[in-house]
Amino acid sequence: MPNVISRTLFALTIVGLGLSLSGCGYNTIPTLQEQAKARWSDVQNQYQRRADLIPNLVSTVQGYAAQEKTVLTAVVEARAKATQVKIDASDLTDPDKLKQFQDAQNQLSGALGRLLAVSENYPDLKSNQNFLALQSQLEGTENRISVARRDYIDAVRAFNTALRTFPTMLWAKTVFSGEKPMAEFTAIAGADAPPQVKF
């Protein structure tokens, strides 16, 4: 009989310990970290989608506006640079690497903006079905990038907050002491200024 009681007490102790550990925040840090990494994958996926659309867009515009070589070249070069800057999940704690990635993507966004502005000078191009479809896909992709970046920022905020709040802070200082806060996207320079409209 004492053997049965000791086994029961041991089992209850294990269950109680498991329940207390599951409710104490131990799993919160790795869970939030994995969510942030998954959101980062979504960001990269959307940027890759945009990069994949660009060759088709450039070749369509090239057929109508071959004299706009400097704009087309700038887009191709910006795309090449943006696809060369790679960040994997282990680099998400390095703000310099994230800034380098963000700068390359911003340069590509600027080049695409100039390309779309040039297209306004070519009525035949603006009415071309391929161009309209590509422009629509590109606009949709830019929206998806914005959503993916927002979701990543939210996931990073949750992870970084967990590293600094109780009770997960106890685990962050002991078991997960090697985990650093993840870097967030920042607004590009001048984003706080209203655009100038000239007629």
Q: What is the pTM of this model?
A: 0.78
* Domain assignment present for 73: yes
Structure tokens of 90?
């282990």
Q: What is the CA angle 181-186-191, rounded to 5? A: 165
- Helices 28-64, 69-84: inter-axial angle, 10-degree rounding: 160
Question: Which positions of the chain have pLDDT values less than 50?
Answer: 194-195, 197-199
Task: Answer yes or no: is 91 within a domain.
Answer: yes
- For 70, counting Cβ atoms within 10 Å of its Cβ (0-12 exposed, 13-18 middle, 19+ buried), the class is exposed
Instruction: Please report, as a single letter, which amino acid is at residue 32.
Output: L
State residue 184's pLDDT score: 87
- Tell whether 53 is covered by a domain: yes
Cβ within 8 Å of residue 82, ≥6 positions away? 47, 51, 104, 105, 107, 108
| Cα–Cα nearest to 163, from 40, 25, 41, 34 | 25
In a domain, 98, yes or no: yes
Q: Print the domain residue range for 85.
A: 33-173
Is residue 197 one of the residues assigned to a domain? no
**Contact in structure between 81 and 108 (CB atoms under 8 Å):** yes
Query: Per the structure, how many domains does the chain have?
Result: 1
pLDDT of residue 2: 65
Q: Which CATH number characterizes residue 127's domain?
A: 1.20.1440.20
Residue 185 within any structural domain of the chain: no
Domain-located, residue 188: no
Share of the chain above pLDDT 90, in %: 48
- Specify if 97 maps to a domain: yes
Predicted pLDDT of residue 36: 95
- Please tell me the predicted confidence (pLDDT) of residue 199: 31
